[in-house]
Chains A and B, each alone.
Chain A
Amino acid sequence: MSLRASAGLVSLFLLTSIGFSGLHNTFVWPYPPFNQLITQRHGMQDVTIVTAGFRSLAADLGWIQLLQYVGGGFLPGEDTKRGYAELKPMALRVTRLDPYFTHAYLYSASMLAFFRNISRPQEALDVLVEGMHYNPMFWPLRATAAAIGFSQQAQFDRMARALEDAIQYPECPALVKSILANGYKAQGRKADELRIWKLILSNPHDEQYHDKARREIRTLENGDTHP
Chain B
Amino acid sequence: MDHFLLLVQDTWREHIRHRIYLSLFLFGFALLGGGLIISALAIEERARLMMDFGLAAIEFLGLITIVFVSVNLVLTEMENRTLYLILSRPLPRGLYIAGRFAGTLLSITVAMAAMAVLHGLLLWPLPHTISLSHYLMAWACAVGKIAVVGSLALALSLFSTSAPTAMTFTLFLWAIGHFSEELKFLGQKSANALVKTLVWFFYHVAPNFSYFNYRDFLYSPHPPSGAWFFYLACYTVGYTGICLWVATFLFSRKEF
Q: A49-57, A84-92, A178-186: which one contacts chain B?
A: A49-57
Q: B67-75, B77-85, B203-211: which one contacts chain A?
A: B203-211
Contacts of B235 on A, CB cut-off 8 Å? 16, 19-20, 22-23
Contacts of A18 on B, CB cut-off 8 Å? 231, 234, 238
Q: How far is the CA of A172 from the CA of B129 in the complex (A)?
A: 13
A29 and B181 within 8 A (CB):
yes
B219 and A208 within 8 A (CB):
no
Q: How far is the CA of A12 from the CA of B236 in the complex (A)?
A: 10
CB distance from B223 to the nearest CB of A (A): 10
A173 and B44 within 8 A (CB):
yes
Provide the main secondary structure of the chain A interface.
helix
B211-254 near A? 1/0 per residue, CB < 8 Å = 10101111111101101101111111111011001000100000
B216 and A56 within 8 A (CB):
yes
**Contact count A vs B, C-beta below 8 Å:** 145
Residue B118 is within 8 A (CB to CB) of chain A in the complex: no
Closest residue of chain A to B43 (Cβ to Cβ) is A208
Residue A212 is within 8 A (CB to CB) of chain B in the complex: no
Residue A64 is within 8 A (CB to CB) of chain B in the complex: yes
Q: A98-106, A117-125, A154-162, A188-196: which one contacts chain B?
A: A98-106
Closest residue of chain A to B176 (Cβ to Cβ) is A51
CB distance from A106 to the nearest CB of B (A): 10
Provide the main secondary structure of the chain B interface.
helix
B218 and A56 within 8 A (CB):
yes
Residue A44 is within 8 A (CB to CB) of chain B in the complex: no
A19 and B231 within 8 A (CB):
yes
Partner of A205, one of B127, B208, B224, B242: B127
CB distance from B95 to the nearest CB of A (A): 12
A101 and B219 within 8 A (CB):
yes
- With A18-B234, A57-B53, A137-B221 known as contacts, the answer to whether A33 contacts B42 (CB < 8 A) is no
CB distance from B129 to the nearest CB of A (A): 7
- With A205-B44, A206-B44 known as contacts, the answer to whether A22 contacts B227 (CB < 8 A) is yes
Residues of A within 8 A of B (CB): 1, 5, 8-9, 12-20, 22-23, 26-31, 33-34, 50-57, 60, 63-64, 67-68, 98, 100-103, 135, 137-138, 171, 173-174, 204-206, 208
5 CB contacts below 8 A, A to B, read A8-B241, A15-B237, A57-B53, A64-B42, A67-B42
A-B contact sample (10 more), CB < 8 A, given A12-B245, A205-B127: A8-B241, A16-B238, A20-B208, A23-B231, A60-B45, A67-B43, A103-B44, A103-B48, A171-B129, A208-B44
